[in-house]
Amino acid sequence: MMVRPHRRHPLWLAYMLHRLSGLALALFLPAHFYMLSLALTRPRQLDHFLSLADNPLVKLAEFGLVFLLAVHFFGGLRLLALEFLPWSPRQKSLAAGAVAGAFLISATFLLRAV
Amino acid sequence: MEVAVWRGSGDRGAYQTFSVPAHDNQTVLDVVSWIQQAVDPSLTYRYACRVGMCGSCAMMVNGQPRWTCRTHVKRVLADGRLQIGPLRNLPVIKDLVADMDPFFDKWVKAGGVHKPSRTREEPIQEVSPDDPGRVVANTAIECINCSVCYAACDTVAGNPDYLGPAALQRAWTLYNDVKVQDRQSVLDAVTGTGGCMNCHSQGSCTRFCPNELDPLSAIAGLKRAAARSFLKGRG
């Protein structure tokens, strides 16, 4: 996909990612609720579907779903912070540094566990 | 170098390519001026100060809005080519000249005119430079009305009623100005249809502002003020 020149910057890409993940989740949710409702209305059909869910392709799609959820969740937090926390550039740098530091430390523990 | 320049008026037109001699020190405005002076005197464009103060020479350069008098060709040249067009989101008068009327009309609509709270008989109000409101207001007063943010904004492109980053930033300046007494009216002017709530926080305004101002944060400030006003029951 060709991104037009005036859109080539992180904030616009973050906006688009938030928008697309939101749309994708909106498409997923009705199907999700429909499947859940089968537990009450047609349990046998639900069992049949759940056996399909063992398919590796479905497992892969689940990763996509978790990715969409994570992206949309953090995108929403980003917007809330952007609009409701009037931080100075220095405070933003400190916050980003704190997140990066926490990530570094937790990744070190993760590597030791692996 | 090959320079494609938009020619035409209104909705009609096409890019015309010129070969322009490249120099070490050359701004995009120099390139446009060279074409007009050496090749085609009928090329229409707008400029005044040439030093980034007047805000009249903004154009689309390789698809991005820029102040052409302070944009060096070397920094924007892509494969020896340059594409120069009139500002986006505004009607074209001719060639590189955009009609700025919608931009300034919205500036007025957003309450950009200062309404004094004292008469000339009263003593001049003292404003401390350290006053927190003044500090916030100061961040945006270097706006030169070049309309680069307006051209960069996709929300403006999608909604003709949207006031746009510059006008909203002006309203945020007034909202924080200690000399402005009726802040609620400032807020009322920018929270209706086409107001600050239309902003999608894409941030192109802040990304492209040639004076490195931050309309995105100003609009966020208006949204916060509007939310606070709503929660206090002032509508």
- B113 pLDDT above the threshold of 80: no
Q: What's the whole-number mean pLDDT along residues B57-81?
A: 95
Average pLDDT score, chain A: 91
For residue A77, what pLDDT band results from cuts at 50, 70 and 90? Answer: very high
- A1 pLDDT above the threshold of 60: no
Q: What's the whole-number mean pLDDT along residues B60-68?
A: 97
For residue A79, give the nearest of B201, B221, B224 by CB distance: B201
In-domain check, residue A1: no
In-domain check, residue A3: no
Instruction: Tell me which residue of B188, B185, B168, B169 sits closest to B117, measured CA to CA.
Output: B185
d(CA A59, CA A64): 9
Average pLDDT score, chain B: 94
Question: Three-state SS string across chain B, please?
Answer: CEEEEEECCCCCCEEEEEECCCCCCCEHHHHHHHHHHHHCCCCCCCCCCCCCCCCCCEEEECCEEEEHHHCEHHHHCECCEEEEECCCCCCEEECCEECCHHHHHHHHHCCCCCCCCCCCCCCCCCCCCCCHHHHHHHCCCCCCCCCHHHHHCHHHHHCCCCCCHHHHHHHHHHHHCCCCCCHHHHHHHHCCCCCHHHCCCCCHHHHHCCCCCCHHHHHHHHHHHHHHHHHCCCC
**pLDDT (0 to 100) of residue B234:** 67
- The pTM assigned to this predicted structure is 0.89
**pLDDT (0 to 100) of residue B129:** 92
Query: What are the residues whose beta carbons fall under 8 Å from the beta carbon of B221, sequence distance 6 or more?
Result: A86, B136, B172, B175, B176
A87 vs B: CB within 8 A: no
Query: Hey, are the CB atoms on B152 and A86 less than 8 Å from each other?
Result: no
pLDDT tens string B117-176: 788 899 988 899 999 999 999 999 999 999 999 999 999 999 999 999 999 999 999 999
CATH number at residue A14: 1.20.1300.10
Query: Hey, are the CB atoms on A11 and B206 less than 8 Å from each other?
Result: yes
Two structure tokens written together for B82: 């340059």
Provide the domain count of chain A: 1
State how far the alpha carbon of A6 is from the alpha carbons of A13, B2, B203, B220, B225, in Å.
Answer: 11, 21, 11, 21, 29
For residue A82, give the nearest of B60, B64, B220 by CB distance: B220
Q: What's the whole-number mean pLDDT along residues B95-108?
A: 96
Query: Hey, are the CB atoms on A83 and B207 less than 8 Å from each other?
Result: no
Query: Hey, are the CB atoms on A84 and B63 less than 8 Å from each other?
Result: no
**pLDDT (0 to 100) of residue A48:** 87
Two structure tokens written together for A111: 């590597």
HSE, side-chain direction, 13 A CA sphere, residue B90: 31
Question: Three-state SS string across B171-186, please?
Answer: HHHHHHCCCCCCHHHH
In-domain check, residue A16: yes
Minimal-distance CA residue of chain A relative to B196: A83
Percent of chain B topping pLDDT 70? 99
B2 vs A: CB within 8 A: no
Ranked by mean pLDDT, the top range of A14-28, A54-68, B100-114, B174-188 is: A14-28
In-domain check, residue A83: yes
- B112 pLDDT above the threshold of 80: no
In-domain check, residue A62: yes
Query: Hey, are the CB atoms on B204 and A6 less than 8 Å from each other?
Result: yes
- A94 pLDDT above the threshold of 60: yes
Query: Hey, are the CB atoms on A82 and B208 less than 8 Å from each other?
Result: no
In-domain check, residue A2: no
- B47 pLDDT above the threshold of 80: yes
> Does the ipTM exceed 0.95?
no
In-domain check, residue A5: no
For residue A88, what pLDDT band results from cuts at 50, 70 and 90? Answer: confident
Does residue A6 contact residue B208 with C-beta atoms inside 8 Å?
yes
Query: Hey, are the CB atoms on B224 and A84 less than 8 Å from each other?
Result: yes
- Chain A closest-CA separation from residue B212 CA (Å): 13
Minimal-distance CA residue of chain B relative to A7: B204
Q: Determine the distance from the C-alpha atom of residue A10 to the mean position of all C-alpha atoms in its chain, rounded to a whole number.
A: 17
Q: What's the whole-number mean pLDDT along residues A74-84?
A: 92
**pLDDT (0 to 100) of residue A98:** 96
**pLDDT (0 to 100) of residue B235:** 57
Ranked by mean pLDDT, the top range of A55-59, B133-137, B202-206 is: B202-206
Q: What angle do CA A95, B222, B57 make, to 5 degrees?
A: 95
d(CA B171, CA B137): 10
Domain boundaries, position A100: 10-113
Percent of chain B topping pLDDT 90? 85
d(CA B228, CA B230): 5
Minimal-distance CA residue of chain B relative to A14: B202
Question: Three-state SS string across chain A, please?
Answer: CCCCHHHCCHHHHHHHHHHHHHHHHHHHHHHHHHHHHHHHHCHHHHHHHHHHCCCHHHHHHHHHHHHHHHHHHHHHHHHHHHHHCCCCHHHHHHHHHHHHHHHHHHHHHHHHHC
Q: Any bridge partners for residue B72, and if so which? A: B27
